[in-house]
Each structure stands twice: as C-alpha cells, then as structure tokens.
Chain A
Amino acid sequence: MVADRIETRDVDPPLRDDQSEAARASLSGVPHEPGAPKPDPIVVADNIVRKFGGLTAVDVEHLEIQRNVITALIGPNGAGKTTFFNLLTGFDKPDEGRWSFEGHNLNGMSAYRVARLGMVRTFQLTKVLSRLSVMENMRLGATGQSGENLWQAMFAPFWRSQEKANSSRAVALLERFSLEPKKDDFAGSLSGGQRKLLEMARALMVEPALVMLDEPMAGVNPALKQSLLGHVKSLREDGMTVLFVEHDMDMVRDISDWVIVMAQGRIIAEGPPEAVMSDPKVIDAYLGAHHDAELDLDESQSGDRNG
C-alpha cells in the first residue's frame, strides 16, 4: 500500500496521449449521468436484475459501453461489479433484462459463445490451469484451432503449422507481460500476481474486440503495474475496447477515459475520471455520508463500510 502511494505520486498528473485524446473526444458530448447514451456503443444493457435470495446484487437500468475506449467500473466491495461481469459474459443468468454486444443479442447465450463473439473476460479470483505449462495455457486461448477438432486432432500435419503460429504469438504476448522466462513452468507454480498477468495475456490470445478485466492489477507489483498500464493503453491502440474493474484509484485516473460507478447493484454515476471522483454521490458511496474529504486512493480499498 505504502509503496503504491510513493510509486504513483511521481506520475501524477497523468500524461494524455493522442489515443486518449481521441477516445475522450468521442465521449465529449455524452452527459455525465448514469445510463448516458454513447455515440458508438459496443455493449448495450437494459434492465439487468440479478437477485440472490432477498439481496438484489445487480439492478442496472441502462448502460452503454463506448467502443475503442477504456472504461473503468468502480464501486465499493459488494457493489455487484463481478456479478455484473458474470451476467454480461453468460457465466450467470439474470432474473430479467436484455443486453447485446456489437448488435448480437446475448440473452441466454452460453458463456463460450459470448467469448467466441469477441467478448472475453478474466476472473477476479484467477483461474489458471495449474497442471498445464504457461505456454499451454496461452495456446489454449487461440481460437479456430483445427487441432481442437476430434477427427483432425490425431493427425499432427493438420494442425502443426497453426500451432507454430499460435506459439509465436503466445511468446510475443508473454514477453509483453514479463512472463517469457516462465513459459515452460507449470502455471500452478506462478505467484498470485504472475497468475493475474497470465490470465490477462491468455485472454488476449482469443483476439477479443472487448476485454473485460476483473481487478487486473490486484497483487501486481508497482513497477510492473506501470508497464502494464502501458499495455492496457496499447490495447486501445490496437482497436480493442477495455472494460475493467479496479479499486486502485490512481490506475483508474491514469488510464481510463470513462468511469462508471456502481453501488449496491445500481449505477450511481458516470463520466470522465476527474468529474466522477469529485462527485459527492460517489464519495458518499465509498466513504459513507458525512465525509467531506475528496476521494483518494487506498481508502476505497478498505471500504466494506457500504458493502
């Protein structure tokens, strides 16, 4: 935590690059209010409700995610962010609601089909495949492999060249995420932070149009965090859309073009990071009412108070 603070002090205020300018420009006319319509949405969700017994974990009236923009989804613990991710990606079924991705209606679609459409997520509690090597984890991410078909699998000539191409793409990604020296180790031997990195890299093997990262930086050391921020930004340059959940407010401020705030299942605010973080509603949600300090990093992480 302390290292966090020191590390991030020197990079404030964040430098804005061209891509970021473009992304922000595309959102300039969008009102700063929950459920605001966007000019070019990649995801549109309506009336998504998920209840666990008596608890309404998610109740989102309307939400649009702008294409080719880095959007942060923030909110106190238990706000429903992970549940909302699960619902959007088909890992959980909402009690009601409809949502679409690039015009495809996703209602009732199974998780693997959603992923094939190009909407790929990572998990808050990492899911690496422990007894496969790091490389095998990566290769598994590649789509359209003819060797994954039972009839072709037995005959290597059908898939060898594709496997080679996937392997070199995997190595390039692993280098980007500083995991290349580990490529032949079992994924189960990686540290917690390395697992986060592997999961992110593996998701990119799918070549998604939208990457949904659930707390990608949790447990990643500050130095690597800085270079990862650069990688996430480069995803936008490659034409991808990024939606991520994060509790580290420095990271949110640094890389996101747009911020969506959830609390108790609802979306309570939307807007560019500076505007959202000085919004009294957001500060209340994080710190409880009667708190007059501006929302700062770290405090948000200790905040079950509203959960």
Chain B
Amino acid sequence: MEWGGILEGALQQGLGPAAIVYCLAAIGLNVHFGYTGLLNFGQAGFMAVAGYALASIVATWGLSFWLGLVVGLALSVVLALLLGVPTLRLRADYLAIVTIAAAEIIRQTVGSVSLLEYFGGQDGLQQFVDTFAGLNPFTTPMGLGPVSWRPYDFFLLCVGWTVVALCCLIVYLLMRSPWGRVLKGIREDEDAVRSLGKNVYAYKMQSLIIGGLFGALAGFMTALQHAAINPSFFATDTTFFAYTVLLLGGAARVLGPVVGAITFWFLINVLDLFFDQATVGPNPLISASIMTHQQASLMRLIFLGLALMLLMIFRPQGIFGDRRELAIDGR
C-alpha cells in the first residue's frame, strides 16, 4: 500500500478541473436552493446548454471562441426564463419536476441522430479549445508541493479557480445586500415577503437566472476540461453530485461549495485509489475471495452513499453550516 501516492493522486483531483466544475455548479445551486429555496434539479441542463453552445459555435460553425462564451451565457438566461415563467408562480415542487425533465430533454436533443451534423450525436464535439489553449503561458508540467499537472490542466486550473473566486465574491456581495435578504426571506416564507410588498416572482426569476449563469460557467469548464463534449457529461447524476457538494460544504454559505467540492473530490479519489491498490497484484491486501478488482471500482459509490447518510445524520448543516439554524427549524 502506497499511502503517499494515494494522497497525492487524491489531492491532484481535489484541486483539479473536475472539482472546479462541481464547485461552479454548486455555487449556482447555492443561489437557487441555499438562498432562495428553489429546487432546481436540472443544473446539468444549464451546463449542457452553455457547454454545447461553446463547442458547436467553434467546432460546427467555425465562429469565435469568445462568441461561444457569450452565446452560452445568453442561452442559459433564455433557459432560465423558459423554466421560470410557467413554474415560479406555482408551488416549489413544480419547478423541481420541470427542471429535471428539461435537463433530460436537452441531453437527449443534443445527442440525437437527427442533429448529428450540429452536435455530433453520442460522440459529441471536439476541436474547439484552440483559442483557449493558445493563451496558455505554461509549457512544462507545473505543480504545487508534491502534486503536479499537465501544462494545459494547470492553466485551466488557474483560470478556473480565479473564476470560482470571482463567483464567490459576487455571491458574497449579493447575499449581504438587501436584495439577498429578500431571497432569504422567500426561502423562509414567500407569502410573508409578499405581504411586505416585494415582487416575489421577479426575485425568484432573478435568482434562477443568476444561478443558471453559474451553471453555464460549469458547463464551459466541463467542455474545456475534456477538450471535448458529449451528452454523457450532463446526465442527471451530475446535478446530484453538485447537490452533494453543496450539502457537504453547507448550503447558504458563500464558501460552502468550494469546501464541498474539494472535500468531495479528495475523498472520492482517496477511496478509489485505495480500493484500486488494495485489490491489485499477486498478493492483494483484500483477497479476491472478498472482492475482485472490478468490484472494487464500485466501492467508492457505496462508501460515498454511506458517508452522505452519516453526514446528514450527524452534521446535516454541512461542514460550514451553523448548528443554531438547524435547531430552530421546526418545520
């Protein structure tokens, strides 16, 4: 067992591009769910719309990368409006149903055979990161302490964490303001907020759009991380991993998604690498009669589920959450 290698590998993932994707997606969900109480189960839909806009504008239509970013953000606003207009006046659960369905519709649409020439079907699109890669100042592998990344990954990481920092700043500035107070009020009881003369519908729409824009950034990051895009990146479990990250870090905390994303990817990779090493070789730590190498790859999901259950029982407010808040919630 090589513990050094396991921790290094896990740290590399915990700070890596995948963690950034889930961090951005969870920042969006934090605005939706953590602050406003909107149940958006379709964050993967916002990610898909933005990611595919970027990839297809460059790879299919041969237009500028920057235009791709703008169109991606604009389309995620359109998606928020399409989802919000019919559902935000209704009870909270309607938004949940509509978003989960919309995300799946989007994924099936971009993966469909009839749109193959635009979106590449199940194989997706490649060859759209040249502009971005061209900005990369790094030529040799770069590292922090014991871990290092390929030049492109390291560049993506620098850009990604900078974007995360900016997003956290925006969320912080918004949520300490009277505007943020209205959102939190809506989360607690929207009729009370209405009775004080606030246009609840407009605030919910603004929240849905802003959280969707953070989701769009997560979609761009997904596309850049793989330098490719395909429908499997945006399956429903993407949204649920983002919720896990949010709850792990603590909802309605500015830095909750950051702490959650790093912890989540670190732990999941520790488990992965541990079971990988423990079942391989001629004389494995865990004998093949208990668990084969193939079975070991599923262990991380089992442990993840267990860890989530323990978290919800013993620390439901997440790593950063405030215990006092839970104590008073009588509903």
Contacts and interface: CB of A to CB of B under 8 A. Distances in A.
Contacts of B253: none
A161 interface: no
A55 B185 CA distance: 34
A112 B199 contact: yes
Interface stretch (B76-84, B149-157, B170-178, B292-300): B170-178
Interface stretch (B6-14, B230-238, B242-250, B321-329): B321-329
Contacts of B177: 147-148, 153-154, 156, 159
Interface residues of B, number: 33
A48 interface: no
Contact of B179 (A147, A203, A206): A147
B192 A128 contact: yes
A136 to B, nearest CB: 6
A153 B328 contact: no
A123 B191 contact: yes
Interface stretch (A31-39, A66-74, A113-121, A226-234): A113-121
A143 B197 contact: yes
Given A154-B173, A159-B177, A159-B178, A203 B195 contact: yes
Contacts of A120: 195-197
Given A91-B191, A127-B189, A154 B174 contact: yes
Contacts of B196: 115, 120, 140-141, 143, 202-203, 205-206
A202 B331 CA distance: 22
A188 interface: yes
Contacts of A129: 184-185, 188-189, 192-193
Interface in B67-120: none
B328 A149 contact: no
Contact of B195 (A123, A130, A147, A150): A123
Contacts, number: 117
B328 A130 contact: yes
B206 A116 contact: no
A140 B196 CA distance: 8
A198 to B, nearest CB: 11
Nearest to B175: A153
A127 B192 contact: yes
A140 B178 CA distance: 7
Interface of A: 89, 91, 110-113, 115-116, 120-123, 127-132, 136, 139-141, 143, 145, 147-150, 153-156, 159, 163, 186, 188-189, 199, 202-203, 205-206
Given A111-B194, A112-B194, A113-B197, 17 more contacts: A115-B195, A120-B196, A122-B195, A128-B188, A131-B329, A139-B178, A140-B181, A140-B198, A143-B197, A147-B179, A150-B206, A153-B180, A154-B173, A154-B177, A156-B173, A163-B178, A186-B328
